[in-house]
Structure formats: structure tokens, C-alpha cells
């Protein structure tokens, strides 16, 4: 696979951040080991400038947010949020998510990011509450760790579907 094909295939692994695939394409284009590919992509993010990492975190949508309601999420985010039942929130749950999204963004300046594929609404709401107690640096690192989990799950799903 050449670099162009690699970027086309893996550019969506990190939400709205094809730069990750672009940066690893030259060394990973011929790679067949998905574990090694995940490591290379994670290293790329971990070694990026703090501003670029922040932009990556901010590229993620709110959970059970307005983009979901409007149908404007990426296909991957739509599937991930639906797998956790976020597309089936009651009015009360939806309002709770909105309040938590707002409080979280006000405190940290970026959206709450969680790999929700293997969670349910109650677990996500509990995590929201717990993580709101974190300080900025701890939450920044937690958000990046969750983004790596999301990327790994997306990479695994992509590998299964080929």
C-alpha cells in the first residue's frame, strides 16, 4: 500500500485528524501488524505539540450532543455513541448529558472524551461526574488516553471489516 492509500484508509482513525496517518504513512504504509500500527499512531500523537494534542481533543464531539441530534457526527462517532445507547436517551438523560457537557467544557476548555463502545449511559454519566473532579493536566492526559482507546477500537473494527 502506498502512502496515499494508507492515508485514505487510516486517516479517520483519529477523529478529524488525518495528520496522524499522514505522519506515520511513510514508515507504516507496508505494515501488516495492527498492534504496531496502533503504537506508531499513538506515539505520533503523544509526541505532537501540546497545541496539536488540544486540537485533537477538541475535534471530538460532545456525547449525546447537538451534533448527534442533528445527524452531523462522523460515521464512526455515530456508531460508537449508538453502541452505548446514547441515541436512545430519555429527555431527562439528554438534559443531564447537556449539563455535564457544558460544565466539563467550561472547566477544561475541551469536550469530554470517552471510549464509549463498551459502556452504557449510566457508566458514562458516572465517569462524567468522576472526571469533573480531575485537575486540568490529569484530565488532558485522560482525554488523550481515551482517544487512543477509541483509535484502537476503530483500527480493530477496520481490520475486521477487510
Under the banding of pLDDT at 50, 70 and 90, the label for residue 78 is confident
Is the pLDDT reported for residue 98 higher than 90? yes
Please confirm, yes or no, whether 148 is among the known catalytic residues. no
Q: What is the pLDDT of residue 66?
A: 65
For range 49-58, the mean pLDDT? 98
Domains with residue ranges and CATH for the chain: 3-54 (no CATH), 61-160 (1.10.3330.10)
Q: What single string gives the DSSP state of each residue in 138-154?
A: HHHHHHHHHHHHHHHHH
Q: What is the pLDDT of residue 36?
A: 94
Q: Which of 4, 16, 60, 148 is catalytic?
A: 60
Give, as one character, the DSSP assignment of residue 61: P
Is the pLDDT reported for residue 33 higher than 70? yes
Q: Are 68 and 86 in contact (CB under 8 A)?
A: yes
- CA distance readout (Å), 131 to 100, 110, 112, 140: 11, 13, 9, 11
Amino acid at each position: 500500500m502506498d502512502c496515499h492509500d494508507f492515508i485514505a484508509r487510516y486517516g479517520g482513525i483519529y477523529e478529524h485528524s488525518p495528520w496522524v496517518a499522514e505522519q506515520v504513512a511513510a514508515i507504516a504504509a507496508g505494515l501488516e501488524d495492527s498492534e504496531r500500527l496502533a503504537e506508531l499512531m499513538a506515539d505520533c500523537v503523544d509526541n505532537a505539540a501540546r497545541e496539536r494534542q488540544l486540537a485533537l481533543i477538541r475535534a471530538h464531539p460532545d456525547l449525546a450532543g447537538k451534533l448527534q441530534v442533528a445527524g452531523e457526527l462522523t460515521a464512526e462517532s455515530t456508531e460508537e455513541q449508538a453502541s452505548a445507547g446514547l441515541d436512545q436517551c430519555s429527555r431527562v438523560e439528554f438534559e443531564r448529558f447537556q449539563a455535564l457537557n457544558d460544565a466539563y467544557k467550561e472547566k477544561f476548555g475541551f469536550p469530554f472524551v470517552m471510549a464509549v463502545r463498551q459502556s452504557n449511559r449510566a457508566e458514562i454519566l458516572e465517569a462524567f461526574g468522576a472526571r469533573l473532579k480531575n485537575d486540568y493536566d490529569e484530565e488532558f492526559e485522560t482525554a488523550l488516553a481515551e482517544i487512543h482507546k477509541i483509535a484502537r477500537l476503530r483500527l480493530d473494527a477496520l481490520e475486521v471489516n477487510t
